[in-house]
Structure 1
């Protein structure tokens, strides 16, 4: 039996006295086996942001300090200024609102090499500063006991200098 949505069951009577294995999607699939312990992983985002002449660039490296590896992580980048013009986002990134971009990192091995994402965008006019909020919004259900290194608020004056986070 293949089920999806609310009410799908992990198994169903086959009518022959046996139980047939099933596939479950939604919340039940995310929860995994009853009583299973969620993996633990320490996701960290570091990089820099610069702003000058109405152009801004963010270079973000996402890492996993372990102990468990992760299949994927989604990071949310929220800007105080709305990007304008043609948005050429990197593969694995999408616009999720006027001032929001979501990017998937791909697999992050425990204590492995990080994955870097770079965005180059424009703002309207020549603003004196902007603010960028960065945070993990999905990590596959892993427990992260150190969320401070994956949530950042960066104030970026329009100097052209890279401001680290």
Structure 2
């Protein structure tokens, strides 16, 4: 599995942040209450399930007020992924049911890179619940989480469901 160093770096930094560590080069002082820049990250896309294959296409966007150099989005599934996956560049598996992908730079009022995933499920299921959210956003404050946390039910019909 080929994974870009940036995706792995984002995953590692996100893990450190989850544990309460300060990101390298951050101006945040422990206990200072500094929340970093403010950005409004959003995801728009679609999912389709056919047999054991789940397709996820999405575009990360940033409505500001600050640009972000990078963020990491997470796709969580209600079923287990197959052992072998061919993931898009900048994406990495983060568990039995999770994949994380870096967005690339998110300019103010702009879009990040398009992310396309073709995921193989371990077993065929009549439906898969797909959750998309931000795993790491560079320490930015996002006051509107409603547009970057999505839950989509994909039925095994091959139909496309938009979010």
Normalised to the residue count of structure 2, the TM-score between the two structures is 0.79
- Deviation beyond 4 Å, 4+ runs, structure 1: 28-31, 33-37
Greater share of residues in helix: 2
Partner of 2:4: none
SS at match of 1:83: coil
How far 1:113 sits from its partner (Å)? 3.0
What are structure 2's unaligned runs of at least 5 residues?
Answer: 1-20
What are structure 1's unaligned runs of at least 5 residues?
Answer: 1-25
Select the structure with the greater relative contact order (CA < 8 A; seq sep ≥ 6): 2
> Structure 1, residues 4-59: CA drift from partner, whole Å, max 9, x if none?
xxxxxxxxxxxxxxxxxxxxxx5274650666662110000110000012211000
Within 5 Å, which residues of 2 pair with 1:38-53?
Answer: 38-53=36-51
Is 1:64–2:59 an aligned residue pair?
no
- The Cα RMSD (Å) is 1.9
Greater share of residues in strand: 1
How far 1:135 sits from its partner (Å)? 0.6
Structure whose alpha-carbon radius of gyration is higher: 1
> Structure 1, residues 68-98: CA drift from partner, whole Å, max 9, x if none?
0001111111111112153111111101101
SS at match of 1:142: coil
How far 1:65 sits from its partner (Å)? 0.6
| Worse overlay, 61-70 or 107-116 | 107-116
Contact kept in structure 2, 1:135 and 1:151, CA below 8 Å: yes
Q: Aligned pair count? A: 140
- Counterpart Cα distance in 2 of 1:109 and 1:95: 26
Partner of 1:159: 157
